[in-house]
């Protein structure tokens, strides 16, 4: 974003719910609902990386997929680049696909093993652009250059590449249509530690080069600290805290964020070592979240009101938000 200008919101998510019905019995009667994403609201500014963190099963990947309309949201609003897309269908949705793309966790599973790398990267171009074969080929080679893949390997198959190279193929494919917004769903979690930093550096370089906006989903708080502009923390289908990166890591407000961060080593050698906050019990099932605050069954600071009333989403000022009764009237 240019100096002196207010950042533009590229993605605006409001009241997003993604509930999945559970059916049982011969008559396939609905017996329950998985509230994977339950009333989530946040914005992503153009050119920034919003980190979305939380334990496995908290709903962060489902939220990412719902925002890209890989699912039909149960309710809520999703505005991307000024267009409401939450309930678009068919051709109207297809026409918006180039704007928003996804990089998946497991490059092995997301690449067709029977297609060459060149045809994998060319596939979105074939679907969305009428291009001459010569131009398409040139674009594929350009994309391979951009992600650091040797263009002479365009006729090879995914199994001939390492995990890190396969993720580069996935990234090249995601970039093919010049997207503005990319959801990176645990893009390094399946890679060797030695390769992770290379892929993260590549994502950062590409962001700068192409002005990309990222939603970076991860359970790895150290990695998110390195990459994100702002961070949203998710627990049992809800965002419990959202703040600029440095403010969140220096002074987490929500008891769940405090517990998560207490387990992350602080890279500052002068920092005072923190006591690790151990959370008791398991995350409750999203089919049956507790009454009141979703975190009340595990929160070290739980109060009576927490078991009765869902805390409101509070604007704490300076771009910080959290949902906790302790922060009301603070
Ligand atoms: Fe803990 Fe209560 Fe705050 Fe929930 S509302 S995080 S249970 S103190």
Give the pLDDT confidence of 31-90 residue by residue, as tens digits. Answer: 899 999 999 999 999 999 999 999 988 999 999 999 999 999 999 999 999 999 999 999
Whether 305 is in the pocket of ligand 1, judged by its Cβ within 6 Å, is no
**For atom 7 of ligand 1, which residue has the closest CA?**
296
Nearest to 147 by CA among 112, 190, 176, 184: 176
* Dist CA 13 CA 84 (whole Å): 10
Residue 277 Cβ inside 6 Å of ligand 1? The answer reads no
Strand order in the sheet with 238-244: 100-103, 181-185, 213-218, 49-53, 230-235, 238-244, 320-322, 314-317
Cα 66 to ligand 1 centroid, rounded to whole Å: 27
pTM of the model: 0.92
Q: Assess contact for 235 and 290: CB atoms under 8 A.
A: no
Burial of 234 (0-12, 13-18, 19+ CB in 10 A): buried
pLDDT at 209 over 80: yes
What string of DSSP letters covers 281-315? SPPPPTTSPPSSSTTTTT-TT--GGGGTSPPP-EE
Higher pLDDT, 82 or 272: 82
Residue nearest to atom 3 of ligand 1 (CA): 324
β-partners of residue 137 are none
Please tell me the predicted confidence (pLDDT) of residue 67: 97
- How far apart, in whole angstroms, are the C-alpha atoms of residue 308 and residue 122? 54
Pick the closest to residue 120 from 94, 153, 158, 86 (CA basis).
Answer: 158
> Alpha-carbon distance 166 to 160, whole Å?
9
* Angstrom distance (rounded) from CA 302 to CA 255: 9
Instruction: Show the DSSP H helices in the chain as ranges.
Output: 60-67, 90-96, 107-110, 117-128, 133-146, 163-175, 193-210, 221-227, 245-250, 255-262
Summarised one tens digit per residue, pLDDT across range 306-327 is 999 999 999 999 999 999 999 9
Q: How confident is the model at residue 264 (pLDDT cuts 50, 70, 90)?
A: confident
Ligand 1 touching residue 22 (CB < 6 A):
no
Q: Ligand 1 within 6 A of 252 CB? A: no
Residue 179: HSE in the Cβ half-sphere, 13 Å Cα cutoff: 30
Question: Do residues 261 and 240 touch, judged by C-beta distance below 8 A?
Answer: no
Is the pLDDT at 2 greater than 50, yes or no?
no
Is pLDDT above 50 for 1? no
Closest-lying ligand 1 atom to the alpha carbon of residue 311: 5
What is the rounded CA–CA span in Å between residue 51 and residue 328? Answer: 25
User: Can you tell me which atom of ligand 1 is nearest the CA of 296?
Assistant: 7
Is the minimum distance from the CB of 306 to ligand 1 under 6 angstroms?
A: yes
- Rounded mean pLDDT, 93-103: 93
Is the pLDDT confidence value at 4 over 70?
no
């Amino acid at each position: 974003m240019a100096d002196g200008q207010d950042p533009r919101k590229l993605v605006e998510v409001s009241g997003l719910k993604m509930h999945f019905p559970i059916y049982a019995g011969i008559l396939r009667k609905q017996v329950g609902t998985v509230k994977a994403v339950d009333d989530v609201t946040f914005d992503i500014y153009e050119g920034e990386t919003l980190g979305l963190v939380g334990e496995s099963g908290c709903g962060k990947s489902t939220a990412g997929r719902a925002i890209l309309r890989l699912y039909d949201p149960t309710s809520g609003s999703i505005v991307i680049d000024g267009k409401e897309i939450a309930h678009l269908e068919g051709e109207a949705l297809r026409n918006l696909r180039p704007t928003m793309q996804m990089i998946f966790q497991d490059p092995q599973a997301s690449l067709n093993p029977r297609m060459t790398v060149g045809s994998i990267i060319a596939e979105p171009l074939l679907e969305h652009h009428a291009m001459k074969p010569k131009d398409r080929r040139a674009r594929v080679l350009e994309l391979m250059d951009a992600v650091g893949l040797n263009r002479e390997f365009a006729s090879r198959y995914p199994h001939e590449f390492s995990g890190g190279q396969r993720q580069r193929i996935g990234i090249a494919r995601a970039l093919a249509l010049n997207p503005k917004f990319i959801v990176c769903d645990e893009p390094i979690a399946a890679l060797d530690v030695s390769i992770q930093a290379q892929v993260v550096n590549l994502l950062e370089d590409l962001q700068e080069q192409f002005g990309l906006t990222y939603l970076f989903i991860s359970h790895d708080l150290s990695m998110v600290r390195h990459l994100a502009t702002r961070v949203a923390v998710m627990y049992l289908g809800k965002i419990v805290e959202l703040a600029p990166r440095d403010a969140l890591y220096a002074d987490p407000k929500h008891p769940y964020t405090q517990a998560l961060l207490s387990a992350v080593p602080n890279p500052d050698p002068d920092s005072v070592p923190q006591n690790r906050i151990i959370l008791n019990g398991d995350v409750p099932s999203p089919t049956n979240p507790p009454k009141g605050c979703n975190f009340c069954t595990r929160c070290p600071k739980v109060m009576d009101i927490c078991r009765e009333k869902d805390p409101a989403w509070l604007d704490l000022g300076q771009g910080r938000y959290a949902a906790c009764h302790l922060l009301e009237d603070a």
